Amino acid sequence: MTTNTPDRARTRFPGISSRAYEHPADRSALVALRSLTGFDVVLRRLSGLFNERALRLMFLGGTVRVGEGQFHHLHDMVRDAAYILDMPEVPEVYVRQSPTPNAMALGSDHPFIVINTGLIDLLDDEELRFVVGHEVGHILSGHAVYQTMMQILIQLGTRLAWLPLGNIAIGAIIIGLKEWFRKAELSSDRAGLLAGQDLDAAKRTMMKLAGGTRLSEMSSEAFLAQAREYDAAGDVRDGLLKFLNLLPQTHPYAVIRFAEIDRWAKSGEYERILGGDYARRADDGSAKVTDEARAAASAYKESWERSADPFIGKVRDVAEGAASAAGGLFDRLSRRDGGTTTSNSN
């Protein structure tokens, strides 16, 4: 595979696994999603309904396919991102006429990327490079099939909304999908940063998604302060309202994504990956589910401890109280069994 990086060289990551950049809560949400009652049944049913060839033909007929002769700069960007993240296959890209600044990865066997003209008009080249890398990250992580499923379910739920109970089950699964997808967005933001290797461009993208093109009227320091204010805003009621506001959203708010990518870039993990220390796909088969579960639990705990949201504080107190009570019960049962049961604490 060849690549075109006309402005500057970027570090390539041979054999990189999506585990290297995935937010631990991404995998945790997927585990929770798959544990939903009836999810496996719905997935099997949808796999029979979904025709990837028909979907691709729809975009082939109604949008512009990116290539050497059309949107050449986007063509170079996706080839570059696939090269850097060592994707075995360069995904197709389609440009769709829509003022909504959005992009998505769809499909299962051969996922492809769709970018709206509203996003192309909004962003400069380095910001677009971040977005393309973000979508390639979705594909490398296997997110595209679930995003496709979510789009189908949303359309199906709309059609069944007139029935009294017709879309309750579908609605519950959509909520679960959206919760997972908000976590997956944080993972793919990290992939976008690894592909573009320009933290300022990643931050500018979030600011433009929130406030448009007038960057001269915005400040990254003030935007980060706004993210901290949003996190700590109000009392327990405000925290609950933030939670309810987020339920219908497929993406975290821009200030949250800005703060998360800034924190990850400064955590040392980003520099470690740039230095070649990262998980490889060749080792994916030996990755332990229990280790991933511990990592997810640790990430949630760290996030809760870092948050100044009073509502999160109350949830944390309840969770810690329940864990303490459960630990005491376990200890009593262990003593009753004559000390034969052992436990590990983390």
**Active site amino acids:** 135
By the 10 Å C-beta count (0-12 exposed, 13-18 middle, 19+ buried), 171 is classed as middle
What are 50-58's contacts with CB under 8 Å, separation 24+? Answer: 50/108, 50/148, 50/149, 50/152, 52/107, 52/108, 52/109, 52/110, 55/106, 55/107, 55/148, 56/92, 56/107, 56/110, 56/112
Question: The tokens of 143 are what?
Answer: 């997110």
Which residues sit opposite 65 in a β-bridge?
Answer: 94
Based on its alpha-carbon atoms, the radius of gyration of the chain, rounded to whole angstroms, reads: 22
- For residue 138, the number of C-alpha atoms closer than 13 Å in the C-beta half-sphere is 30
Going by their DSSP bridges, the two strands 64-65 and 93-96 should be labelled as antiparallel
How do strand 93-96 and strand 103-106 relate by DSSP bridges?
unpaired
